[in-house]
Amino acid sequence: MKKYAIFWGCMIPQRLPSVEIATRKVFEKLGLEIVEMEGYSCCPDPIVGRYMDRKTALAISARNLAIAEKKGLDTVVLCNGCYETLWEAREDLEDKEQRKEVNSVLSKIGRTYEGKNKVRHIVEVLGDDIGVSEIKKLVKNPIKAKLAVHYGCHLFRASEGEDMWRKPNQLTDLVAATGAQINRSKLDQICCGFPTSHVNEEYSMNSNLMPKMEAYQQMGTEGVVVCCPACNVQMEIGQMSLKKYGKKYSMPVFHLMELLALSFGVPPKELSLGVHRSPVQQLAERMV
């Protein structure tokens, strides 16, 4: 049984535990084992928290990576934000001098980081290790709905020479594999507005989220699939905040893992979709 160390991050356990439930079901169906990363902390988040101080942030990230490394496993993330922070930290720590510096801090708390393992997004793991064709074989309940795919900014983070569309395209392929019809819009790449919502709510709502919602509605989109819990929370809470600006939407937004679990035949009731702040439960019952 192949093992993966899953980095749950902050958003999933605290705001969207349904994603954790769905991930466990999907891994079970795929015959993969989840290894817990005991003692992980915030990654720290790439847009706000990480700019506290480079050295501090790098040491916190290295501490997280060291937990998976001790188990000899790659860190697999379900969140684009965690992906960016941890991926970049790993990249920076390839540099021996920086690693030495970070290790001098980590040694004081009884940890060490060698840089042996990788950081991977769940989209990559499913696309590369499992393969879209294998996923297709497991689909029991083809999804009958028109869904939009929201990639999320940091999914575009790519190594030197790697196609920046590789992971976003994998995400689209995975959604298509469940049988869903994909509604594309030219606003698919636009940020959900989460990173800027702390700094300027009006901008984040009116300039990012509203045009996206407007486009989804015009195209008859029934739901939005994301691969990041922060985008998910922003798009759901954001729809509630948009009422202030005189706009009413009720667009279900949910995580890729929930979509996969539903298509693999997990009954919607077992997924606790009620924690969502958008009508995901209703859509789930309709589309499978």
Partner 1 sequence: MAGETNNSGINFELRKDIINVDKNIVKCFQCGTCVSSCVASFVLSPGKYSPRQTILKALYGSELAFKDKNLWMCGNCYHCYERCPKGVHPTDVLGKLKEISFSMGQAPQPVVDRVNNILSTGRALSIAGSELVRGRVGMSKLEEFKFAPEIKKIAELTKGGKK
Minimum Å gap between C-beta 84 and partner 1 is: 6
By the rule CB under 8 A, 184 interacts with partner 1: no
Separation of first and last alpha carbons in the chain: 29
Looking at 60, 73, 125, 126, which residue binds partner 1 (CB under 8 A)?
60
CA separation for the pair 186, 188 (Å, rounded)? 6
**Closest CB to partner 1 among residues 161, 246:** 161
Using CB under 8 A as the criterion, what x/- string covers residues 197-236 for binding partner 1? -xxx--x---xx--x-------------------------
Token look-up 């809470």 returns 237
Write the CA distances from 176 to 28, 35, 170, 219, integer angstroms. Answer: 21, 28, 10, 17
Q: Is the Cβ–Cβ distance between 228 and 152 less than 8 Å?
A: yes
Minimum Å gap between C-beta 132 and partner 1 is: 24
Minimum Å gap between C-beta 278 and partner 1 is: 14
Is the previous residue joined to 44 through a cis bond, with omega within 30 degrees of 0?
yes
Cα dihedral 86/92/94/96 (nearest 10) = -130
**Closest CB to partner 1 among residues 108, 248:** 108
Tokens of 16: 């969207």
CA angle 101, 103, 109 (to 5 degrees): 130
Binding positions for partner 1, 151-180, rule CB under 8 A: 153-154, 156-158, 164
Provide DSSP, 199-257.
T-HHHIIIIIIHHHHHHHHHTT--EEEES-HHHHHHHHHHHHHGGGGT------EEEHH
Minimum Å gap between C-beta 78 and partner 1 is: 15
Burial class (CB in 10 A: 0-12, 13-18, 19+), 220: exposed
**Closest CB to partner 1 among residues 180, 224:** 224
User: What is Dmax (Cα atoms) for the chain?
Assistant: 56
Interface region with partner 1, contact rule CB under 8 A, candidates 34-42, 170-178, 244-252, 253-261:
34-42
**Closest CB to partner 1 among residues 99, 111:** 111
Interface region with partner 1, contact rule CB under 8 A, candidates 51-59, 119-127, 141-149, 243-251:
51-59
Per the document, the length of the chain is: 288
**Closest CB to partner 1 among residues 175, 230:** 230
Interface region with partner 1, contact rule CB under 8 A, candidates 23-31, 59-67, 69-77, 235-243:
59-67
Contacts to partner 1 by CB under 8 A? 10-11, 13-18, 20-21, 39, 41-42, 44-57, 59-60, 63, 84, 105-106, 108-109, 111, 153-154, 156-158, 164, 189-191, 194-196, 198-200, 203, 207-208, 211, 272, 274-275
